[in-house]
Amino acid sequence: MIRILPDETDIYALTDSKFARGRSVEEQARALLGAGVKILQYREKHAKAGVMLEECRLLARLCREAGACFIVNDHIDIALLVDADGVHIGQDDLPIAEVRRLVGPGKIIGLSTHSPEQCEAAVRDGADYIGVGPIFATQTKEDVCAPVGFDYLEWVAKNCSIPFVAIGGIKEHNIGEVVKRGCTCCALVSELVGADDIASKVASVREAMKKS
């Protein structure tokens, strides 16, 4: 298993065929991994289960070959079937303790959070990392809550004892403001998979993070 957490890398990439300009999940993954991304999450909300299984099986192999960590969003069963490195769940999904019973002690569990109370609960319940957001308004996720802004991010940077990743509306032009608030790892979706050249966009996003 490849265990890489958000405090060990700078970019956390997610697949999303809705914004990928016709690129397949495989094309998205190969471009992102080829650009040196070390955490890749499979998030395809509208694919059929059989398709998700085959795509995740492929991405798990590609991530292993690239030395990257592979996370599956929501679908714990598929994560187990393809031996993914971890799962990412939301506030309305199964409790962390129950997820841990299913995946075992070695797998990574990430949890989306939107408030200090949710962060504290995630730490108490045994999450390996949390998602913090949405920082800005975002169109890449349905049924998303209102942006949490910088107040919660700054609170997490000062108070959270486990790794965290900022997510939600983060782009090259505003990622510097996120980094300035104490975030070292940012999740990007459409900004990467929807770029003309994914590898070039990864490089320019990294440069923007370094300049902040």
Question: Number of C-alpha atoms within 13 angstroms, CB side, residue 48?
Answer: 2
Burial 15-47 (b: 16+ CB within 10 A, else e): bbbebbeebebebbbbbbbebbbbbbbbbbeeb
Query: Could you give the C-alpha distances from 207 to 30, 147, 200, in angstroms and in order?
Result: 21, 25, 11
Predicted confidence at residue 146, as pLDDT, reads: 85
Predicted confidence at residue 89, as pLDDT, reads: 98
Predicted confidence at residue 212, as pLDDT, reads: 80
Predicted confidence at residue 94, as pLDDT, reads: 97
Ranges in the chain, pLDDT < 50: none
Task: Please say whether the beta carbons of 194 and 21 come within 8 A.
Answer: yes
Which residues are identified as catalytic?
43, 112, 141
Contacts of 45 (CB under 8 A, 6+ apart): 18, 142
Predicted confidence at residue 141, as pLDDT, reads: 65
